Amino acid sequence: MQNGKNLKRKEKKIPHHNLDRVLFFLLLFSSSINLLHLPSHAEFDCVGASVQKFNFKFNASNAYETIKKQVNYGARYPGSLGIEKTRKLIANELQSSINWDINFQNFTKKWNEEDVKLVNIICQPPNFDVSTPNFLLMAHYDTRLWATSDPDPERRRDSVPGANDGASGVGILLELGKVLVEYGITNFRLIFFDAEDQGGILGWDWLVGSRYYVSSKDSELQDISWAILLDMVGAINATFKRERNSDMYAKVLLDQIWDEAANLNYSNYFINESWKTILDDHVPFLQAGIPAIDIIDDFSSRYNPWHTTYDNLTYIDVDTLEAVGYTLESALQKLVQSTDWMNGLTRFNYVSKFTITVVLGSIIMISLIVRSSGKDARKIGKSNKINNS
């Protein structure tokens, strides 16, 4: 019986073997035909990629040029000539071809006894659409007054050129904003914050511009469904990890962006790995219950010129700009096409690390007090028993 079965199997295998040969020759034939179709340069670029990247509108060279212009203005700390020039650049870039509605939100803050003019720049595309859930794309455009982390102590009162920390976010957003309008997407605003990066200098705090915006634009915030912040998005070999606050309060949004990066073979930039909490311009939005994520470089494992005089153009890489630009161009188109993904995106009550620490600390303190008073009560009970006996 066993032998007979084996024989049957052998008999069945013979035609399969022939079929394999036929398939092999067919494959050889079809690949030789493919060889005749010489791929264009763009197609060579995407060998191995699941998506054909040559269809993208985002132009990383344009983003680079805008970064270069900002750096050439010199220091762009609040109240400087450089930051005034940057404001004009932002307005000119958005109004040169089509007329964006640009709202300069002015306010002042004392710095060294003097009032400093601060300006958040809120930009609405033409035909801004409030009827559909709208979103924000954000970056800070100031640079740090002092290079407080410079390796040379003598240079720690020099200004930071801010090619990556400041200019890169602005460069990408200006290009991305124009691209989205070309796709007919109009339910978003670009916001450029002043005074993000002066924390610890002459008594200033971080996030001054974004905090002011969130505290003063209550009615505008009602219509905002979600927000994406870009900060330090142009460095060579940048790595963007899942910032903890973003992951905790806007996981669905974070997943959408990181998944799209993976689809485009950019997982070497958008690392699918939990990271620490970063204090950045998305935090005031989270505190207001608005889902917001921060795309920010984790440079801890490599050379970084953060808050030094070396944060200049040599540190900026067009490939990184392209990775961020392509990922957002692709992801944002999908995010606005369907709002189903937003089911998992809800407003929430933000609980800061400070609150968690205070609450946990209080619970521990109370339980210790209760425990020790219980011990005391038992001791008194014991001594009463002894006295009574």
**Residues in touch with Zn ion (CB under 5 A):** 165, 197
* Residues counted in the chain: 389
Distance in Å, CB of 231 to Zn ion, minimum: 7
Least Å distance between CB 140 and Zn ion? 8
Closest distance to Zn ion from the beta carbon of 206 (Å): 9
State how far the Cα of 60 lies from the Cα of 57, in Å rounded to an integer: 9
Instruction: Provide the minimum distance between the beta carbon of 223 and Zn ion in the complex, in angstroms, as a whole number.
Output: 29
Cβ proximity to Zn ion, 193 vs 258, nearer residue: 193
Query: Measured from the CB of residue 197, what is the shortest distance to Zn ion in angstroms?
Result: 4
Q: Please compute, for residue 265, the number of CA atoms within 13 A of its CA located in the half-sphere on the CB side.
A: 10
Distance of CA 137 to the CA centre of its chain: 9
Shorter beta-carbon distance to Zn ion: residue 165 or 329: 165
Q: C-alpha distances in angstroms, 252 versus 84, 255, 346?
A: 37, 5, 10
Q: How far is the CB of 32 from Zn ion (least distance, A)?
A: 56
197/329 with CB nearer Zn ion: 197
In sequence order, the 6+-apart residues with CB closer than 8 A to the CB of 339 are 132, 133
Closer by beta carbon to Zn ion, 168 or else 225: 168
Query: Chain-centre distance of CA 68, in angstroms?
Result: 21
Tell me how far apart the alpha carbons of residues 278 and 164 are, in angstroms, rounded to a whole number.
17
Half-sphere exposure of 11 (CA within 13 A, CB side): 6
Q: Minimum Å distance from CB 379 to Zn ion?
A: 57
In angstroms, give the least distance from the CB of 277 to Zn ion.
Answer: 16
Residues 272/259, Cβ–Cβ less than 8 Å = no
Nearer to Zn ion, 243 or 329 (CB): 243
The smaller minimum CB distance to Zn ion, of residues 77 and 258, is found at 77
**Distance of closest approach, residue 352 Cβ to Zn ion, in angstroms:** 21
Contact 198, 142 (CB under 8 A): yes
The tokens for 387 are: 């006295």
What string of DSSP letters covers 339-376? -GGGGG--------HHHHHHHHHHHHHHHHHHHHHHHH
Nearest to 192 by CA among 66, 304, 19: 66
Least distance to Zn ion from the beta carbon of 319, Å?
22
Measured CA to CA, the distance from residue 279 to residue 216 in angstroms comes to 20
Question: Which one, 165 or 317, has the nearer CB to Zn ion?
Answer: 165
* CB closer to Zn ion, 165 vs 260: 165
In terms of CB distance, is 86 or 256 closer to Zn ion?
86
| Residue 206 CA: distances (Å) to CA of 152, 156, 198, 255, 345 | 24, 18, 6, 27, 27
Q: How many angstroms separate the CA atoms of 109 and 117, rounded?
A: 7
Q: Given the complex with Zn ion, which of 93 and 165 has the nearer CB atom?
A: 165
- Cβ–Cβ < 8 Å for 238, 295: no
